[in-house]
Structure 1
């Protein structure tokens, strides 16, 4: 069975040596001392390794079962959730007034990576609850907050998001679910939703569904969509549970992965719902949850890559196959371990440089959320809005690729279920699809986010990269050559791609949109390049100061050089594709495919 060890040391390095969180002018960050964050991360890592990891294969093997309208979750999931609740983990970064611990989002992100890496299917139950609670916190009335949030923050009640219908996925303006106003101010919700993660299960006393629907007589299309709170059980005025609502699970999907999470078809038959936010402004309210979910899904891609990588390293060190081309390195054995071979090293370095760079990117993005939400910083909010599709799309695409590479290290054993490597690949695959398929993320990036606020935020990103290069150049020739020069070249590629869109996109939108996917990946590479430049600076400073852990920092520098030399130049390929325009992409007629 695969194992997992939480990368707490790397997280501490990023939080304190790279991001320098205690020095940031973000409310609450001054309390995040190294010993404090270390204790929290260590405890979360222990739960991940000892409680959640052993249940990962159980969830994959048993899956969920629908019995008489109730979904039975895999053996051990209920006890594990009880343990999570006892530790207060579901409410780590939620407000104290509703039972949370009010920790910064960045700490919740670090903890969330561990939980997702150890058991993604299980962690989704509380992750979706967190997202639903955040939407109620942002858009609910005081009465709604007081009714639902204490139970949801504690995870006594869980939450969902209901968007997709059988005939519409991304194009939510086509939805048919209706909301009929009632005299008491509630609404009767009727319709069907599909692909609803954690839509029905036996882990909580109540499930609070957030449902998109159209109020009868409202505007057509997306402008007529509203968001509703639809509990599985109605809640009495004293907070106790009342009658069963008119919502039921009609089926659970048989899926490629995340078998331990119930993906449901939900039927609403005149169910009682309560408007969340304003009429016909449902997408605004839902996007509070969607944006959080997209960052969480980016984290899932990274987390599965990390777990798969850890196991690939163990196998590569232990499996004896062939001899090193430069001479036997295990002369007393029948063969050398796999890890002596250059192509295995290439694969492992791809994985290691991605996971460590991606982790820094994700945690950096989380600090922007804290800066925006805790400090009211509109610029930080604009920048993370720009980067959200990059975090979601790039980290999940590359994260999936890394799980495949880890599986490949095992050879034939990677394809055999008993070794457990296929689960990482199967579980990672959904992250490229849900919460907005990655092609949609790329369209959102190029079609909306680049021009947002007059292009202010993308220009701020370029200025940030330029400032880092300028402020750190000329101090160390090796650092300039290995890190700053590649970062500068990649940033110029990204700017050239943006200029191509500006010059050609208005005349022929296909020229821009045909290159959107490449642009998303190019942007992701530049972000990881920036992260590696910052991590390298921190490690060089630590070595210069005489750190007691020179091996860690030397390894960090070597890994960073690999990314800058072997991965970051991919921006040139992406630029060439973008500048070829949309002509070749759109050349065939539909009936020629």
Structure 2
């Protein structure tokens, strides 16, 4: 299997030149004394080393061996425990966690790049730390001081893991039908009883305890509340006590992510503690879900980068056929990189991946501003932008991640369909990213129905106004490319307003057209980021880097940007042809 090497130059370029991270950090007192570009570069270098030397070597073996459920134990693949211990000892689980509770306090716009490296190296392994970080975020935002002091340090250190327990057999995306119950105890705790399915990291042998965040219903209410339920009870001195009635019914046998323990979890009078207010559990859980949605988008991005590296290396080495017009070297056979269709696939993967990385860093920047800025106007605007971008980051990045994996597999030809090359594992591992943490269709409905038209297109208008101002300020991009993107941004607003005006008279309109609108937005936004990158690369001291950006930008505008037009045309066609056929005709 090909080694993984993080695109460090690209990552530093985005932080320093495209999004001016040093300025962002210097304007937030919480970050000003914590991180600068030297610190960020050192963290990226170390994350690259760990991803390459520790995490990536267990990717293939973990897929081959998988997770085992023996008696009452869930056993991860060989090597996972040793690598996890080193990963946790390095502080990577708590990289962006609150320093008051043992986290490193790093900004999210740096954290997303570290996450990308880990996902590129091994999707399955990286999920364990990601779920823990997300659970810790929800506890930090909504838990009592006592709970935060007791649980967060052990989670940030990686000694305890976290899991999110929502789904039940009869309640997937619609959680109103969950049956798990929470009965109050006299001491203020609750007895949690019920079963959950599809629980990533529900149990495993990497840590001594797993802290579950469980959605359940209180007696005589239809509301949903959130409870912290440890696998092993925790004593007042943080030592572990008795088992807590939290057991594994089985593990799921999945298409991919074989090294990730996806469990059926049973709670039998398990002791739990309320997080947040009664009947407000979904509000609390969405703190974790929004974090995980960005993380799963980055899973798709990490897959894209890994797929590109594998396919590009293969295309340079695999000799097959002769270049159109004859071999440039006079050979009987040339590397397949000379063929136009192979180049088309590689350029598509690379242009989408580099723009996707820009989206992840930009979204991380908005998260940082919303959390740390002391300017109330900046904070509020970043929160609005974050609301817009979270479903897009999850859906568009993971959709394009699967596209990239499949195109890379196609570059390998028949060798891509057999296990030895490793590319088929990427296809299997990343397929789930479009499904879990809210299917991408649901993300699109959230985007168009709540984030775009929910406020009568106010936040989208504000966002597009800022993008237009940025584009008009670029000095080193072509006028034709500027005009192309500005026209698309205008059309995004026009179509959004049309949907907004018709959403009540056509109640199925948003549901039927949401995916196309999100894709139109995604391809248009990537065009904005390509202009930002080309503009910033103009004074780059590496001529090759500058030329790469120029070539890739040209390919994106010549070959891919038209996808935005197509998807907008689909939205404009409305929902009639989708909804008019009677159900019995299907």
- Stretch of structure 1 that moved more, 412-421 or 524-533: 524-533
* Counterpart contact for 2:453–2:496, Cα < 8 Å: no
- Stretch of structure 1 that moved more, 445-454 or 414-423: 445-454
Equivalent residue, structure 1, for 2:548: 555
* Counterpart contact for 1:23–1:30, Cα < 8 Å: no
Alignment of 1:258-277 (within 5 A): 258-277=257-276
Equivalent residue, structure 1, for 2:18: 18
1:510 aligned to 505, 508, 511, which one? 508
Equivalent residue, structure 1, for 2:232: 233
What is the alpha-carbon distance in structure 1 between the residues aligned to residue 579 and residue 98 of structure 2? Answer: 50
Equivalent residue, structure 2, for 1:364: 362
Equivalent residue, structure 1, for 2:445: 443
Equivalent residue, structure 1, for 2:75: 72
Alignment of 1:181-580 (within 5 A): 181-218=184-221, 220=222, 224-332=223-331, 334-375=332-373, 377-472=379-474, 475=475, 479-481=478-480, 483-542=481-540, 547=541, 549-580=542-573
Question: Deviation of residue 471 (structure 1)?
Answer: 2.2
What is the alpha-carbon distance in structure 1 between the residues aligned to residue 109 and residue 491 of structure 2? Answer: 30
Secondary structure in 2 matching 1:275:
strand
Equivalent residue, structure 2, for 1:45: 48
Q: Within the alignment, does 1:176 sit opposite 2:175 as a pair?
A: no
Equivalent residue, structure 2, for 1:582: 575
What is the alpha-carbon distance in structure 2 between the residues aligned to residue 480 and residue 34 of structure 1? Answer: 32
Secondary structure in 1 matching 2:578:
coil
Secondary structure in 1 matching 2:82:
helix
What is the alpha-carbon distance in structure 2 between the residues aligned to residue 255 and residue 382 of structure 1? Answer: 37
* Counterpart contact for 2:385–2:459, Cα < 8 Å: yes
Deviations 1:135-184 (A, max 9, x none): 00000111100110110000100000000000110100011111111111
Secondary structure in 1 matching 2:119:
helix
* Counterpart contact for 2:195–2:265, Cα < 8 Å: yes
Question: Deviation of residue 453 (structure 1)?
Answer: 4.4
Question: Deviation of residue 532 (structure 1)?
Answer: 0.7
What is the alpha-carbon distance in structure 1 between the residues aligned to residue 87 and residue 450 of structure 2? Answer: 39
Structure 2 CA distance for partners of 1:425 and 1:167, relative to 1, 3 Å? same
Deviations 1:486-511 (A, max 9, x none): 21122123123202202321211222
* Counterpart contact for 2:317–2:335, Cα < 8 Å: yes
Secondary structure in 1 matching 2:457:
helix
Secondary structure in 2 matching 1:90:
coil
What is the alpha-carbon distance in structure 2 between the residues aligned to residue 117 and residue 361 of structure 1? Answer: 17
Question: Deviation of residue 35 (structure 1)?
Answer: 2.7
Structure 2 CA distance for partners of 1:41 and 1:395, relative to 1, 3 Å? same
Secondary structure in 2 matching 1:515:
helix
Q: What 5-or-longer segments of structure 2 have no aligned partner? A: none
* Counterpart contact for 1:257–1:426, Cα < 8 Å: yes
Alignment of 1:121-160 (within 5 A): 121-160=124-163
What is the alpha-carbon distance in structure 2 between the residues aligned to residue 505 and residue 540 of structure 1? Answer: 44
What is the alpha-carbon distance in structure 2 between the residues aligned to residue 71 and residue 487 of structure 1? Answer: 51
* Counterpart contact for 2:520–2:564, Cα < 8 Å: yes
What is the alpha-carbon distance in structure 2 between the residues aligned to residue 252 and residue 427 of structure 1? Answer: 17
What is the alpha-carbon distance in structure 1 between the residues aligned to residue 527 and residue 454 of structure 2? Answer: 24
* Counterpart contact for 2:351–2:552, Cα < 8 Å: yes
Deviations 1:214-243 (A, max 9, x none): 00112x2xxx00000000000011111011
* Counterpart contact for 1:206–1:233, Cα < 8 Å: yes
Secondary structure in 2 matching 1:320:
coil
* Counterpart contact for 1:177–1:213, Cα < 8 Å: yes
2:120 aligned to 117, 120, 131, which one? 117
- Stretch of structure 1 that moved more, 294-303 or 490-499: 490-499
* Counterpart contact for 1:21–1:30, Cα < 8 Å: no
Question: Deviation of residue 386 (structure 1)?
Answer: 1.1
Secondary structure in 1 matching 2:576:
coil
Q: Normalization by structure 2: what TM-score?
A: 0.97
What is the alpha-carbon distance in structure 2 between the residues aligned to residue 30 and residue 534 of structure 1? Answer: 25
Secondary structure in 1 matching 2:529:
helix
Q: Normalization by structure 1: what TM-score?
A: 0.96
What is the alpha-carbon distance in structure 1 between the residues aligned to residue 106 and residue 163 of structure 2? Answer: 23
What is the alpha-carbon distance in structure 1 between the residues aligned to residue 322 and residue 143 of structure 2? Answer: 64
* Counterpart contact for 2:460–2:493, Cα < 8 Å: no
- Stretch of structure 1 that moved more, 340-349 or 81-90: 81-90
* Counterpart contact for 1:248–1:267, Cα < 8 Å: yes
Question: Deviation of residue 485 (structure 1)?
Answer: 2.0
* Counterpart contact for 2:457–2:497, Cα < 8 Å: no
* Counterpart contact for 1:164–1:195, Cα < 8 Å: yes
What is the alpha-carbon distance in structure 2 between the residues aligned to residue 456 and residue 577 of structure 1? Answer: 23
Q: Number of residue pairs matched?
A: 579
* Counterpart contact for 1:233–1:241, Cα < 8 Å: yes
Q: CA RMSD in A?
A: 1.3
* Counterpart contact for 2:89–2:158, Cα < 8 Å: no
Deviations 1:47-96 (A, max 9, x none): 11111111000111000000111100000001101111221111111111
